Structure 1
Amino acid sequence: MVGPRTRREDAAPTATGPRPTDDRGSGRHPLLRPIWIVGHVVVLVVLVTFPMLGLWQWDRYQQEQAVAAAQSARLDAAPVPLAQVLGPSVTEEQAATLEYTPVTVSGTWAADEQVAQRNRDLDGQLGFDLLAPLELGDGTAVLVRRGFVPPDGPSSADPTADTPIAGTVTVTGFLEVSGRQPEGLGARDADDGVLSTVFHADVDRLDRQSEADLLPMVVHLTSQVPSDGPLPVPQPAPTPDPTQNLSYTLQWFAFTVIVGVGYAFVLVRRVRDHRDGVDSDVDPLLRDRDPR
C-alpha cells in the first residue's frame, strides 16, 4: 500500500517577486544595511549642497539687480564733457567706476585708422562693430564704437569701407571699459602689425597703430552731429538680465524638494514592506540572503 505523499521541507519556493522575510528579529533594520547607508549619505549631501547652490544663485541675482540698477541710473544721467571725467592717467579700477557714464565730445575722425570688431550682434544678426579714433586736437584721441554694420551690406568684403564723414563732429554716448585679450583659450588679436579687424576693443593694442595717444576707455556712440547716414547703426546699451540667476535659484530649490520628497516616499515604502515581512531591496545579494 502506498503511503501518503510527503512534501520535502527544504523545497525551494517557486514564487517570484520580492521574497518574504522577517528582519525584525535579526537585530538590524533593513534601512541600516550598507547599501541604504550609502544612499542616506548621498541624499544628505544632495539636500545640503543643492540649497547652498540655490542660495549662491540668489546672492548672484541680488548682485546683478544692484548692477542693473546702478547701470540704469548712470545711463539716465545727463551727458558731461568727456574731459571732465576721462584723462590719460585713469586706472582700470577707476575705469570700472566710470563705465556707463554719459559723455559728449567733439573732434575729427581718424578714418584711415578705423577697424572692424568681429562677431558682433544686433537684433540676432551677426556682423561687425566699427571702431574709430576721434582725434581731440591736443595730441590725444578716444576710441569710439561707432556702431554695427551687417555682413551682407556694403561692408561684406571690407567692413571698414563705411568710413566716417570728414570735418568736426560731436559724439554723444557713454563710456565702456577697454577690451582685454584672453589669457588662455579664446580668440586673440595679433600682437604685431597693423590690424583692420579685431576680436576685442582693446585700447592698448589699437594705441600701437594710432598716431594720436588713445585715452584708456571707449566711447560707445549713441548719436552724432552731423550724422553719418544709415550705417553704422548705433548699438543699444547692454542690459543685464538678473532673471537668469533667479531661474537657477528656483531650479536648485526645486531639485532639493524633488529629491527630499522622492526619497521620503522610498523610505516610507521600504518601512511598510519591512512591516509586512517583505524584503524589497533590489540588491540581489541582499534579496536572496536568508535573514534567519
Structure 2
Amino acid sequence: MYRFLLTPRWVALHIVVLLVIPAFVFLGRWQFGRFEERSANSDRVTANLAAAPVPLGTLAGPGRQVKVDDRFHTVTVSGSYDAAHGLVVRRRPQEGRPGFYVLTPLVTGGGQAVLVNRGWVKAGASADAPPEVPAPPAGQVTVTGRLRPGETEESSGLKDRSGLPPGQVLLIDPGKIGKGLPYQLVGGYVELTGQQPKPAAAPEPVPAPDVGSGGGLNLAYGVQWWLFIGVAIGGWILLIRREVADRKAAESAEVPESPKVPETAESSTEQQETHPAPN
C-alpha cells in the first residue's frame, strides 16, 4: 500500500520537506538571535538615556572612538562655539520634512573641541541652497546632550560624496571634518538637549531615539518560522494519508460483486416434493 512513497513524485516531495525543515530551523534561530541582540541594545540605550549626566571627558576624547555601550549617554561639556567653522548636514528629515542638522564645533580649551549637533532646520528653496540657521550663542556655554559615535557609511546608510556646496556635509565624521580645523576633535559628537545660557533662537531639537519594542517583532518572526516546521510536517503526513485513502477507495471500487448461484433442476424438484401442489 505504501510503495507509492518511493515513486519519483513522492521522493521529490520528501526531499523538499527534508530541506525545508532545517531551513526553517535556521531562520527561526536567526530571528531569536536578532531578538536577543536588539533587546540588549534597547536595554542599554534606555539605561544610558536615563542615566545621570557625566562630563564628556569621562567617555570620549580626541582620537578615542565612542564605545557602543556609551551611545546616547547624557554628557555635559563647557566651551565656546566656533561659528566660523559651522556646518550643516544634508539629508536629515525630521517628522517627514526635509532639512539639515546644524553642526557647530564647541571649543573646550587645550586645543580640543567637540562637534555639537545643535538641532534641525528646514531645507532651503533648493537642495543646494543654504538653509536659514540661527547663530549659536556667543561666549562661554555649558552644553548637555546625548553622546553619539561618529558616523560612517555603514552605520548611517548614506553614501558620502565630494562636490557638495561649501559648509555642507553628508556624514558627521569627526575624523574627516577635523582635518580642516585648528584643534583636535573628540572622536564622537554631542546631540544637544539643553544649554546654559539659553539662546534667543535655536534650531529645532532632535528627538530622542525610539528604542522600539526591543526586538519583539524578531521574536514573533522566530516563533512563526518554527510553527512553519509543524505546518510542513503536518501537511506532509496529511498528503500521505490522503493518498492512502484514495488508493484504498479505488481498490474497493475495482473488486467485482460475487455472482448469484442459479437454481438447479434438482433443487426445483426437491422444492416441489417438499411443497406439493394443491389438488
Report which of the two has the higher share of helix. 2
| CA distance in structure 1 between the aligned counterparts of 2:231 and 2:103, rounded to whole angstroms | 51
Which of residues 109, 118, 138 in structure 1 aligns to 2:81?
109
Unaligned 5+ residue runs, structure 2? 252-279
Cα distance, 1:43 vs. partner? 1.2
TM-score calculated relative to the size of structure 1: 0.75
Residue identity over aligned pairs, in percent, reads 34
> Residue type matched to 2:106 in 1?
L
Residue 175 of structure 2: aligned partner: 204
For the structure 1 residues 228 and 35, does the alpha-carbon distance in structure 2 shift closer, same or farther, using more than 3 Å as the test?
farther
1:106-255 alignment, distance < 5 Å: 106-151=78-123, 157-159=129-131, 161-182=133-154, 187-190=159-162, 195-229=166-200, 231-241=202-212, 242-255=215-228
Checking the alignment, whether the CA contact within 8 Å between 1:115 and 1:160 is kept in structure 2 is no
Cα distance, 1:248 vs. partner? 2.4
CA shift digits 1:149-191 (9 cap, x unpaired) = 12269x99313633322222211012111112459x951133x
For the structure 1 residues 225 and 88, does the alpha-carbon distance in structure 2 shift closer, same or farther, using more than 3 Å as the test?
same
RMSD over aligned CA atoms reads 2.8
Checking the alignment, whether the CA contact within 8 Å between 2:148 and 2:191 is kept in structure 1 is yes
* SS class of match (2:5): helix
Checking the alignment, whether the CA contact within 8 Å between 1:181 and 1:202 is kept in structure 2 is no
Residue 50 of structure 2: aligned partner: 76
Residue 3 of structure 2: aligned partner: 29
| CA distance in structure 1 between the aligned counterparts of 2:229 and 2:98, rounded to whole angstroms | 39
Residue 12 of structure 1: aligned partner: none
Checking the alignment, whether the CA contact within 8 Å between 2:44 and 2:69 is kept in structure 1 is no
TM-score calculated relative to the size of structure 2: 0.78
Unaligned 5+ residue runs, structure 1? 1-23, 279-292
Equivalent pairs counted in the alignment come to: 248
> Residue type matched to 1:172 in 2?
T
Question: Hey, which bits of structure 1, 4+ residues long, moved more than 4 A?
Answer: 192-195
> Residue type matched to 2:53 in 1?
P
Which of residues 264, 268, 271 in structure 1 aligns to 2:241?
268
| CA distance in structure 1 between the aligned counterparts of 2:138 and 2:184, rounded to whole angstroms | 20
| CA distance in structure 2 between the aligned counterparts of 1:61 and 1:121, rounded to whole angstroms | 28
CA shift digits 1:2-59 (9 cap, x unpaired) = xxxxxxxxxxxxxxxxxxxxxx5xxx72221112111111112112211221122112
Cα distance, 1:228 vs. partner? 3.4
Cα distance, 1:194 vs. partner? 8.4
Checking the alignment, whether the CA contact within 8 Å between 1:160 and 1:196 is kept in structure 2 is no
Which of residues 29, 37, 53 in structure 2 aligns to 1:55?
29
| CA distance in structure 2 between the aligned counterparts of 1:69 and 1:88, rounded to whole angstroms | 28
| CA distance in structure 2 between the aligned counterparts of 1:98 and 1:160, rounded to whole angstroms | 33
| CA distance in structure 1 between the aligned counterparts of 2:9 and 2:118, rounded to whole angstroms | 64
